[in-house]
Chains A and B, each alone.
Chain A
Amino acid sequence: MTARHEAGRPSLVELTGVGKRYGNVIALRDITLQVNAGEITCVLGDNGAGKSTLIKIIAGLHRHDEGVFRVDGREVAFGSPREALEHGIATVYQDLAVVPLMPVWRNFFLGSEKRKGSGPLKRLDIGFMRGTAKEELLGMGIDLRDVDQPIGTLSGGERQCVAIARAVYFGAKILILDEPTAALGVKQAGVVLRYVVQARERGLGVVFISHNPHHAYPVGDRFLILKRGRSIGYHTKDEITLDELTAQMAGGAELDQLAHELESAGVKGAPELREEARDLGASD
């Protein structure tokens, strides 16, 4: 049961014609997207398409130069990640920001430790933090044997899930996930996708960055496809099929061109590549 976006309420995050330049390099141009509560907006694109620039703008690492960036209907321009956090925007980066040798619960609360007592006796509320970490993870469907184990002993997927649960617990309304499935195997990626859906069902707005349409399509509600800093497609799920999405994303026309080049260089396998391009609907 997905909490649908109510008509009339502003989107959690709304970009209109947003652009970004680094000196004379145009990194991003005329991007429009919405993130609603209880929805997953997928941002797809190859390396260098501008995905990271887009995250950095929403996460507060860079300021946009053009267009309008609204959070909850109000126009914003963040100067630091802390400002973004104060607006409820949390980012889970690829390296996850965990300390491998520290226990799961210490990692969960790192930087936002809960304390009790006062004066020189001010100390960590270990019982609370341990219990809360366990409960929050269980709430996300992650059943850990022991929250005292070093987080380095968890699998990549589990660590990703702890990072997501941490962001959710500390009041995130909008969750930005930077390629959460990129370094994972098929099964692990499935586990992470389940938690992404969990986060949506809790009513969060999720920005899911990926270069894999097979991961994005099943969970996404909206899809923004970037290429060389421009939007080459922005669709809701009912407007596009997985095959069309894959074709737009992989750039079937480019595959076709590559096949030509390989063929003229006498490389084996070019016909297969051409076949692949045809499957993607690019060259017929």
Chain B
Amino acid sequence: MSQTIERPSAPSDERLAARSPLRKLLGRPEIGALVGAVVLFVFFSLVADAFLRASSFSTVLYSSASMGIMAVSVSLLMIGGEFDLSAGVMVTTSALIASMFSYQLTLNVWAGVAISLVVTLALGFLNGLLYVKTGLPSFIVTLGTFFMLAGLNLGFTKLITHNVATPSIEDMDGFEQARSVFAANWTIGGVQVNISVLWWIVFVAIATWLLLRTRSGNWIFAVGGSASSARAVGVPVTRTKIALFMGVSFTAWFYGMHILFNFKSVQSGEGIGNEFFYIICAVVGGCLLTGGYGSAIGAAIGAFIWGMTSNGIVYAEWNPDWFKFFLGAMLLAATVVNLVVRRRAEAGQ
């Protein structure tokens, strides 16, 4: 920052002063979500006495993490200009694979975990490859793989276990060890904290570093902002897009492992509809639906808003049936805010 300032011939500094730090902050993609999060926090603190208890906060954090881990990679994919509607069921697919491989073949659970990682990454690669090869919108391609996976989840589970859920793998080799990695519960100061909250924060940090400080991050913004321009200056567009789909499948595997080791058995019909929640977290957090703009921290704030709202309604002793209405209204509001932000960014202040 400082090496160019001593240049005496640059009169640019006096014009720069017009842009205050506040203005700069207002230009960040996650600012709308941050304001929304503060407002909701104050709101639920006022209407729900139970909301401010430490135990409630840990519950809010846990449900935020349950959305947030996936929202990280989904937001990267959206910045890269694409959707993945199969993200929700892919979590279940991944958990089912690990569970059934270990149980049916009586293997150490780590073998199932490893096989699941390979298969799930391959699914992400397939999504990316289908998108790249067909040239169809990713919305259509992943809508197709979404239904295919949902069908396979149910079909295979019933075929193999003659049930809609997998049997518990609690007493199998390696279970406790795997549980301590993917689903450990710690008690800190009388409050229970799940390790998934920690992993969530780690993933957000890695994604933020990737986006803002690495070449890959530059490429992600570029392929989402203008794929043809990116290609013209030598950015490997195809490779970047496929990697983004594989990023989604990686977190799907990770969160699938959390579900498996937290609940011991997997419901094969789970996960349908969650893909929309991930997208909502990313969009509320400032990702543009059209790509090229957004942040991983924004998606994390979006997930936190999701966690606060879904639990706050319960603490306020309202009927939780209303939750989805709020969610939809928030999505609309966030999209309008994003539109304004984008217009400002494109047309100058």
Contact = CB atoms under 8 A, between A and B. Distances in A.
A130 B12 CA distance: 14
A97 interface: yes
Given A124-B215, A131-B4, A110 B233 contact: yes
Contact of B235 (A101, A110, A144): A110
Nearest to B4: A131
Interface string A231-261: 0000000000000000000000000000000
Contact of A143 (B10, B213, B229, B293): B10
B218 interface: yes
Contacts of A131: 3-4
Interface in A70-116: 82, 93, 95-102, 106, 109-113, 115
B19 interface: yes
A145 B348 CA distance: 12
Most buried by A among B3, B225, B228, B234: B225
Nearest to A166: B233
Nearest to B226: A99
Interface stretch (A146-154, A181-189, A202-210): A146-154
A93 B10 CA distance: 30
Contacts of B4: 130-131, 134-135
Contacts of B342: 101
B218 A150 contact: no
A123 interface: yes
Contacts of B293: 101
Given A95-B228, A110-B230, A143-B11, A153 B1 contact: no
Contacts of A130: 1, 4
Interface in B188-239: 209, 213-215, 217-218, 221-222, 225-226, 228-230, 232-235
A266 interface: no
Interface string A124-161: 10110011001100100001111001101100000000
B345 A112 contact: no
A9 interface: no
A122 interface: yes
Contacts of B226: 98-100
A3 B345 CA distance: 41
A128 to B, nearest CB: 9
Interface string B1-14: 10110010111100
Given A99-B229, A127-B3, A146 B12 contact: yes
A146 B16 contact: yes
Contacts of A122: 214
B171 interface: no
A266 to B, nearest CB: 46
Interface in B63-95: none
State the majority secondary structure of interface residues on A. loop
Which interface residue of B15, B218, B221, B347 has the most chain A CB atoms within 10 A? B218
Nearest to A112: B234
A199 B18 CA distance: 32
B229 A144 contact: no
B346 interface: yes
B347 A153 contact: yes
B292 interface: yes
B218 to A, nearest CB: 6
A123 B214 CA distance: 5
B214 A99 contact: no
Contacts of A134: 4, 10, 12
A82 B293 CA distance: 29
Given A95-B228, A123-B213, A124-B218, A101 B346 contact: yes
A112 B230 CA distance: 11
B233 A111 contact: yes
Q: Which of A101, A109, A126, A138 has the most CB of B within 10 A?
A: A101
Most buried by A among B215, B217, B346: B215
A102 B347 contact: no
Contact of A101 (B19, B209, B228, B345): B345
Contact of B218 (A100, A106, A144): A106
A88 B275 CA distance: 48
Nearest to A114: B215
A130 B213 CA distance: 13
A227 B226 CA distance: 34
B46 to A, nearest CB: 38
Contacts of B209: 123
Given A93-B232, A150-B345, A153-B348, A102 B3 contact: no
Given A123-B213, A126-B213, A127-B3, A101 B225 contact: yes
21 contacts: A96-B229, A97-B228, A97-B229, A98-B229, A99-B292, A101-B293, A102-B218, A102-B222, A102-B225, A106-B218, A110-B235, A111-B230, A112-B233, A115-B215, A124-B215, A130-B4, A131-B4, A135-B7, A143-B11, A145-B12, A146-B19
Given A123-B213, A145-B16, 13 more contacts: A96-B229, A97-B232, A99-B225, A99-B292, A100-B226, A101-B292, A101-B293, A102-B218, A102-B222, A126-B213, A131-B4, A145-B15, A153-B346
Minimum-distance CB pairs A-B, first 3: A111-B233, A111-B234, A99-B225
